[in-house]
């Protein structure tokens, strides 16, 4: 992330986030690209840290994703290494060798198993991660002074225009536990599981299996409900680490003390992170919330909502501040889910523009036009078929998206 890159008009200031006991973060310059910034992040985790994750469903995943998928089975973590500027995806045996070398060098430094080291990379596809640069960067990170969340968020970024972080607290077993997280992502965002690269840290004591269940549930209503461009990355990864340093009785089931509070705090952090990614959508000028009600099922509602959110015609209409609800009708109809034209209703903001398959006669366009001039847009759809509902978030599609991605490898 370059200081010369103008921030998204939807950018949010980086929050004041507390440290997490059992987590020490350091950064270094591996120089994966020709930039003068830290691009390698090393997080050392206390022994006994639990880990969970959600990973891309791409059939062409990076070696890092395959490594994490295998390592997650063990349920324990001692370190996280993140490389920015090179995704190491579609790189064959050379890419796998780079991941193995990073894990081995980190494990030797910490005296742990290579499978306790989690690795993630982001950037250009098809270029093997240079092992020499990775190892030199790791050595520099091992010797570096610890940094805060903002420095870590900057170091994991690529085309992001602002650093992204979120935190929350909860009372668990009579103790206050803290969750702090960072994420990067602004393009190639349409996950089927998680999104981009996101890392969540908590001092709560949580059993690995329960941490996985809680993260998967939080993901379903956050990361899997956002889209920028309809494209799922080869490298999408969200990992959660629980150090146990808060000293609460470990959470292992929904019946344990504070389980509900922990789940709610985790879901809150995931939702905050997901919306930050959409706010930084490449070229975005408007955040769009799409609510679908009255579907035959929640799953059906989600598919319809994502069909609207991924429609270039809908997204460009919003960019042009045009309440072209006909494009919403189009997106509902093409979703492949149950829908009946004469029961369909649509609103922009609080204004109903179509009802029961027809335009609302004489509706006032003034409040709709005013709503569309804002930075946060709401589109509501009621199918009138059942009780299914969903809410997703996207951004508008502008010339900026083309400019950023046409020049991405330069």
Tally Cβ neighbours within 10 Å of residue 187.
Answer: 22
pLDDT at 39 over 80: yes
Find out whether 158 is annotated in a ligand binding site.
yes
Find out whether 405 is annotated in a ligand binding site.
yes
Residue range(s) in the chain whose domain bears CATH number 3.60.70.12: 23-279
User: For 174-197, what is the mean pLDDT?
Assistant: 76
Question: Which one is predicted more confidently, 230 or 52?
Answer: 52
* Confidence at 192, pLDDT banded by 50, 70, 90: low
Measured CA distances, 144 to 118, 137, 140 (Å): 20, 10, 6
Find out whether 282 is annotated in a ligand binding site.
yes
Find out whether 184 is annotated in a ligand binding site.
yes
Q: Partners of 392 in the beta sheet?
A: 290
Distance of alpha carbon 2 from alpha carbon 16, whole angstroms: 21
For residue 407, the model assigns a pLDDT of 62
Find out whether 345 is annotated in a ligand binding site.
no
* Confidence at 11, pLDDT banded by 50, 70, 90: very high
The torsion angles phi and psi of 269, rounded to 5 degrees, stand at -65, -45
User: For 123-128, what is the mean pLDDT?
Assistant: 87
pLDDT at 110 over 70: yes
What sign does the CA torsion over 220, 164, 408, 82 have?
Answer: negative
User: For 19-44, what is the mean pLDDT?
Assistant: 96
Beta strand spans in 243-349 (E): 287-295, 345-348
* Confidence at 195, pLDDT banded by 50, 70, 90: very low
Question: Which one is predicted more confidently, 89 or 44?
Answer: 44
Number of helices and strands (H, E) in the chain? 11, 14
Find out whether 24 is annotated in a ligand binding site.
no
pLDDT at 59 over 90: no
In degrees, to the nearest 5, what angle opens at C-alpha 240 toward C-alphas 259 and 23? 105
pLDDT at 189 over 60: no
pTM of the model: 0.92
| Cα distance between the two ends of the chain | 14
% pLDDT > 90, the chain:
81
Give yes or no for a contact between 17 and 167, defined as CB atoms under 8 angstroms apart: yes
Distance of alpha carbon 113 from alpha carbon 124, whole angstroms: 29
Beta strands 76-86 and 40-55: pairing type? antiparallel
Identify the H or E element spanning 26.
strand 23-28
200-254 confidence digits (pLDDT tens): 999 999 999 999 999 999 999 999 999 886 666 677 899 999 999 999 999 999 9
pLDDT at 2 over 60: no
pLDDT at 3 over 80: no
CATH superfamily membership of 287-406: ArgJ beta chain, C-terminal domain (3.10.20.340)
DSSP-based three-state secondary structure for 99: helix
Nearest to 357 by CA among 336, 377, 382, 334: 382
77-96 confidence digits (pLDDT tens): 999 999 999 989 888 899 99
For residue 193, the model assigns a pLDDT of 43
For residue 233, the model assigns a pLDDT of 66
Measured CA distances, 336 to 148, 184, 304, 306 (Å): 46, 32, 8, 12
pLDDT at 132 over 80: yes
Architecture label for domain 23-279: 4-Layer Sandwich (3.60)
Distance of alpha carbon 218 from alpha carbon 232, whole angstroms: 19
> What's the chain's average pLDDT?
92
Give yes or no for a contact between 198 and 183, defined as CB atoms under 8 angstroms apart: yes
Residue range(s) in the chain whose domain bears CATH number 3.10.20.340: 287-406
Active site residue 195: yes
Distance of alpha carbon 172 from alpha carbon 209, whole angstroms: 18
Percentages of the chain per state (helix, strand, coil), in multiples of 5: 35, 25, 40
pLDDT at 194 over 60: no
Q: Which tokens hold the place of 205?
A: 């004591």
For residue 283, the model assigns a pLDDT of 79
Distance of alpha carbon 292 from alpha carbon 388, whole angstroms: 8
349-360 confidence digits (pLDDT tens): 999 999 998 999
Tally Cβ neighbours within 10 Å of residue 253.
Answer: 10
DSSP-based three-state secondary structure for 168: strand
The one catalytic residue in 195, 232, 234, 394 is 195
Beta strands 237-242 and 197-202: pairing type? parallel
317-351 confidence digits (pLDDT tens): 999 999 999 999 999 999 999 999 999 999 999 99
* Confidence at 5, pLDDT banded by 50, 70, 90: low
pLDDT at 187 over 70: no
């Amino acid at each position: 992330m370059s200081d010369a890159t103008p921030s998204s008009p939807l950018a949010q200031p980086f929050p004041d986030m507390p440290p997490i006991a059992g987590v020490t973060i350091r950064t270094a310059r591996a120089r994966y690209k020709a930039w003068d910034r830290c691009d390698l992040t090393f997080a050392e985790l206390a022994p006994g840290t639990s880990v969970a994750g959600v990973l891309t469903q791409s059939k062409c995943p990076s070696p890092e994703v395959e490594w994490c998928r295998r390592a997650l089975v063990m349920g324990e973590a001692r370190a996280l290494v993140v490389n920015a500027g090179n995704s190491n995806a579609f790189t064959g045996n050379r890419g796998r060798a780079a991941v193995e070398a990073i894990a081995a060098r980190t494990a030797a430094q910490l005296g742990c198993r290579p499978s306790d080291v989690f690795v993630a990379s982001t950037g250009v596809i098809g270029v093997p991660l240079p092992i020499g640069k990775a190892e030199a960067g790791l050595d520099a990170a091992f010797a570096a002074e610890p940094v805060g969340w903002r420095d870590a968020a900057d170091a994991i970024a690529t085309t992001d225009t602002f650093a992204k972080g979120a935190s929350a607290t909860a009372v668990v077993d009579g103790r206050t536990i803290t969750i702090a997280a960072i994420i990067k992502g602004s393009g190639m965002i349409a996950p089927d599981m998680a999104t981009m690269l996101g890392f969540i840290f908590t001092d709560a004591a949580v059993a690995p299996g329960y941490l996985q269940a809680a993260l998967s549930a939080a993901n379903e209503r956050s990361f899997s409900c956002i889209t920028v461009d309809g494209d799922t990355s080869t490298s999408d990864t969200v990992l959660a680490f629980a150090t146990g340093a808060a000293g609460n009785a470990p959470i292992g089931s929904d019946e344990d003390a504070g389980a509900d509070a922990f789940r709610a705090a985790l879901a809150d952090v995931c939702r905050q992170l997901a919306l930050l990614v959409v706010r930084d959508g490449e070229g975005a000028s408007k955040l769009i919330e799409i609510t679908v009600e009255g579907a035959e099922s929640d799953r059906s509602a989600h598919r319809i909502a994502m069909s609207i959110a991924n429609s270039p015609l809908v997204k460009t209409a919003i960019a042009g501040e045009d309440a072209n609800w006909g494009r919403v009708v189009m997106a509902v109809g093409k979703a492949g889910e149950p829908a009946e034209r004469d029961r369909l209703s649509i609103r922009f903001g609080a204004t109903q523009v179509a009802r029961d398959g027809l335009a609302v006669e004489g509706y006032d366009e003034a409040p709709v036009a005013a709503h569309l001039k804002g930075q946060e847009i709401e589109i509501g759809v009621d199918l009138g078929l059942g009780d299914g509902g969903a809410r997703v978030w996207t951004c508008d599609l502008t010339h900026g998206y083309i400019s950023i991605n046409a020049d991405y490898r330069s």
